[in-house]
Structure formats: C-alpha cells, structure tokens
C-alpha cells in the first residue's frame, strides 16, 4: 500500500523542512586594541560575555548589567574558523540546496565587520574571513562539469550602486522579477569562478577599486556598503524514491537545475554621524547613509512585528536585500562590538539592532526552475486521492 511519506521527498534540510526559520543573530566582540589597552586600562569593558549561556551582559554601571540572549555569543578568543562555522556555514549549506542566503555584518566602524567577512588571510590562512571560507566550501561541493558559479562585487554609496569589478560601471540598476520576486543586478560584472585563487584575486581587485573610488569621492569605505553576490547553478540528480513515486503516477521528469544565491554584506559603520557642522556633500552623505541603514532597521522592525507593510522600497539596500531578508531567504547576521567603555552607547545600539533582528522570521522556499513545490503539492493531492480510494 502507498504511504503518505512517498511524496515527502523534498530536498529540504532536516531542521528547516517546511517550517519558517528565524534570522540567526550572533554577536562578536573584538579584543581591545593597543590604544584601548593603554588609555582605558583603568576601566572595565562595557560588556561581559557568557558564551556557554549565549548571553551578553551590557554594563549599566559598576555593579549593574542588562542581559541579552543571542543565537551565538563569540568572544574575543573566537577563531575565524569558529565564526565561519556558526555564522555562515549553515547559510552556505542552504544556498547549495537552492535557497537565497544572506550573511550580514552590522556594527560601529572599527569593531571587526571587514575582519569577520572580508579578510583574505593571504599570509595566514587561519585569518581567512567568511567570504573566502564560504567560497572554499562552495567550490568543494560543486562539479565544474555540470555546475556553474559566478560572482559580482558591488559597493552601495549614497544610494548609488557601483561595480567594484568595473569602476566605469557606476550606476547599476536593481531589477526585480515581477513573477518570482527575485532581485538581480544584471548590469553588474559577473565573473565565473573556477578556483579559490581566482576568487581571492577578484576580492583584491574589488578592494583596490573600492579604495580608489573612495579616494576620488573623498570619503571613507566605512561609509559605504560592500556587497558580494554569489550565484550557483547546480544540477540535481534525481533520487530513486522520487523516480519510483513519479513513475507510479505516470509522469516523466527532466533533470533539475537548482539555483542558489549567497549575498554577503559588509554594512556601512552603524555609528551615528555628527550632524552639527556637516554641510553640503557631507550633510547629503550623512542623510543618504542613514537612509539605507535606517531603512534596513525599519524593515527589520516591521518584519519582527509581523507588520503587513515592510518598507523595502525605501532604500537601495533594502530593495537589494528584498529576496534575502524576510520572505524566502535564510539569513544570518553578525553584530560586531568593541569592548571599550568609551563606545558603550554605540555598543548598546548595536546590541538592540541584533535583538530586533532575532525576531524576524523567514519563510523558507526552495527555488528551482522546475516548480518542485507545485509538483509536490500535486503529487500529494494525487496520493491523498489514491490513499482515500484504498481505504474505502
């Protein structure tokens, strides 16, 4: 007799099968730097971490703390490998299964966003950040014969998207597929990646162009968002179970292409900029940067409160992240903080941003050119009919 489970062979990962996943949020503390070690030697850190309890305590005064829980609490001793494993690896695995995956770093300038995401680790491979480690894992699990892998690297500055792989291409449009809701940037340079070496070279070129662009515009890279987009097309081999249940229903199946997208976002520094004394370009810039980051904050709030209106249209950043954040994606956020009591205010606001993001639920949905979900619903209905027939 047929059992109901025959139709349940969707390629979902165990923990996510059909259930909404929440945005995962980790907090990472960087060690004190030389200046803080010397100048703040008499002052205690503004936070205390309890990694085994996944708790962070933010100092209110000498004896009192506020306590916050995160999905993961990474101390100043956490290795780059461990950070990759808790923050990005589950996202990369989902992307290889056909989801949209996003990894973002949020925090004050100087707290370790780029260290966490973008470190190349050329001199010391243990220092490699999330971008390079993700690519290592992706390359290890795709087949050069049947799969394809391409990368774009962008900078978003003052509501303009620039191509970090082609500086002349400095006003890239965001395109949204009206049917699927997929967001893409077809105008951006897309480079096929064959090996780790070519990927590192691409990151180096992007970084050099970022520095040059910022010098020309007389700004700092901490004021722009860097966005790495990785597209994977993986052909999927049908399993025996699927073939047998389908042949029972007299259907023939073509091989599937599973498309995954990984977006890694090194956000602009979250620090509030001083408005006093800002004029002209600087004032405009202050507004624009606050626009994208504050739009992100507003979307997170709306998603966290299950609000029916999520203002994704309000900024380029949120439009670009529309299919990465909320909706169909698997998203991981790392909020970076420094230990210095001097930055307690910024640290507190970063922690609150992370806390709000923890409330955002993502409905997972696999994307395949072939409508797997629709097919499986049809199969399920047909099976239900057959089972009902048998039970009569």
> Binding of ligand ADP at residue 339 (CB under 6 A)?
no
> Binding of ligand ADP at residue 109 (CB under 6 A)?
yes
- Tell me whether residue 75 is annotated as binding: no
User: Segment near ligand ADP (CB under 6 A), from 111-119, 360-368, 369-377, 380-388?
Assistant: 111-119
Picked from Mg ion, ligand ADP, none, the partner binding residue 259 (CB below 5 to 8 A depending on kind) is none
- Token pair, residue 109, equals 């300038």
Bridge partners of residue 154, in order along the sequence: 163, 227
CB-CB contact of 206 with 189 (8 Å): no
Helix/strand/coil for 231 = strand
Please, which residue, 263 or 334, has the CB nearer to ligand ADP?
334
CB 83 to ligand ADP: min, Å? 8
User: Segment near Mg ion (CB under 5 A), from 109-117, 125-133, 278-286, 332-340?
Assistant: 109-117
Distance of CA 55 to the CA centre of its chain: 22
CB burial readout 1-32, b (16+ within 10 A) else e: eeeeebbbbeebeeebeeeebebbbbbbbbeb
CB 365 to ligand ADP: min, Å? 32
- Tell me whether residue 111 is annotated as binding: yes
- DSSP per position, 144-158: TTT-EEEEEEEEEET
Please, which residue, 226 or 364, has the CB nearer to ligand ADP?
226
CB 86 to Mg ion: min, Å? 20
- Token pair, residue 168, equals 């002349």
Q: How far apart are CA 143 and CA 256, in angstroms?
A: 15
Contact positions with ligand ADP (CB under 6 A) in 26-65: 30-31
> Binding of ligand ADP at residue 278 (CB under 6 A)?
no
Please, which residue, 113 or 316, has the CB nearer to Mg ion?
113
- Token pair, residue 349, equals 């606001």
Picked from ligand ADP, Mg ion, none, the partner binding residue 110 (CB below 5 to 8 A depending on kind) is ligand ADP
- Tell me whether residue 259 is annotated as binding: no
Please, which residue, 129 or 297, has the CB nearer to ligand ADP?
129
> Binding of ligand ADP at residue 222 (CB under 6 A)?
yes
- Tell me whether residue 112 is annotated as binding: yes
Question: What percent helix, strand, coil does the chain show, rounded to 5?
Answer: 40, 20, 40
CB-CB contact of 67 with 355 (8 Å): no
Q: Identify the residue among 21, 98, 101, 110 touching ligand ADP (CB under 6 A).
A: 110
Give the other-Cβ count within 10 Å of 44's Cβ.
Answer: 11
> Binding of ligand ADP at residue 113 (CB under 6 A)?
yes
- Tell me whether residue 180 is annotated as binding: no
- Tell me whether residue 114 is annotated as binding: yes
- Token pair, residue 60, equals 């209110």
Distance of CA 331 to the CA centre of its chain: 5
Please, which residue, 35 or 391, has the CB nearer to ligand ADP?
35
Please, which residue, 74 or 142, has the CB nearer to Mg ion?
74
Q: How far apart are CA 274 and CA 295, in angstroms?
A: 19
How far is residue 189 from each of residues 169, 184, 199, 358, measured CA to CA in Å?
9, 12, 14, 33
Q: How many residues bind Mg ion (CB under 5 A)?
A: 2
Instruction: Determine the residue with CB nearest ligand ADP.
Output: 112
- Token pair, residue 129, equals 């950040």
> Binding of Mg ion at residue 114 (CB under 5 A)?
yes
CB 227 to ligand ADP: min, Å? 14
- DSSP per position, 95-139: HHTT-EEEEEEEE-TTSSHHHHHH---SS-GGG--HHHHHHHHHH
Picked from ligand ADP, Mg ion, none, the partner binding residue 31 (CB below 5 to 8 A depending on kind) is ligand ADP
CB 344 to Mg ion: min, Å? 21
Residues that bind ligand ADP (CB under 6 A): 30-31, 107, 109-115, 222, 336
Residues that bind Mg ion (CB under 5 A): 113-114
Q: Which residues are annotated as a binding site for ATP?
A: 107-114
């Amino acid at each position: 007799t047929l059992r109901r489970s025959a139709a349940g062979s969707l390629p979902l990962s165990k923990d996510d099968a059909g259930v909404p996943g929440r945005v995962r949020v980790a907090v990472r503390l960087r060690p004190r730097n030389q200046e803080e070690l010397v100048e703040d030697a008499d002052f205690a850190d503004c936070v205390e971490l309890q990694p085994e309890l996944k708790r962070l305590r933010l100092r209110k005064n000498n004896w009192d703390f506020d306590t916050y829980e995160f999905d993961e609490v990474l101390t100043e001793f956490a290795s780059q490998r461990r950070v990759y494993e808790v923050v990005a690896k589950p996202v990369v695995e989902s992307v290889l299964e056909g989801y949209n995956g996003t990894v973002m770093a949020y925090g004050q300038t100087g707290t370790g966003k780029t260290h966490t995401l973008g470190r190349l680790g050329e001199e010391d491979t243990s220092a490699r950040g999330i971008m390079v480690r993700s690519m290592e894992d992706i390359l290890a699990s795709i087949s050069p014969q049947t799969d394809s892998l391409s990368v774009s690297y962008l900078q978003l500055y003052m509501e303009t998207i620039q191509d970090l792989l082609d500086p002349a291409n400095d006003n890239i449009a965001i395109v949204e597929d009206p049917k699927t809701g997929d967001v893409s940037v077809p105008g951006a340079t897309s480079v096929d990646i064959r090996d780790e070496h070519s990927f590192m070279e691409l990151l180096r070129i992007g970084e050099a162009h970022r520095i040059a662009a910022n010098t020309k515009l007389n700004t700092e890279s901490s004021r722009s968002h860097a966005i790495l987009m990785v597209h994977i097309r993986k052909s999927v081999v049908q399993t025996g179970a699927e073939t047998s249940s389908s042949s029972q229903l007299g259907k023939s199946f073509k091989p599937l292409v599973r498309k995954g997208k990984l977006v890694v976002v090194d956000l602009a520094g979250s620090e509030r900029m001083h408005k006093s004394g800002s004029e002209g370009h600087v004032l405009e810039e202050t507004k624009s940067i606050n626009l994208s980051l504050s739009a992100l904050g507003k979307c997170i709030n709306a998603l966290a409160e299950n609000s029916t209106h999520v203002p994704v249209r309000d900024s380029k950043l949120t439009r670009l992240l529309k299919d990465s954040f909320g909706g169909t994606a698997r998203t991981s956020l790392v909020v970076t903080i420094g230990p210095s009591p001097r930055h307690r205010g910024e640290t507190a606001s970063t922690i609150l941003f992370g806390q709000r993001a923890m409330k955002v639920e993502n409905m997972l949905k696999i994307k395949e050119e072939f409508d797997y979900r629709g097919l499986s619903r049809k199969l399920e209905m047909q099976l239900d009919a057959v089972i009902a027939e048998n039970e009569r």
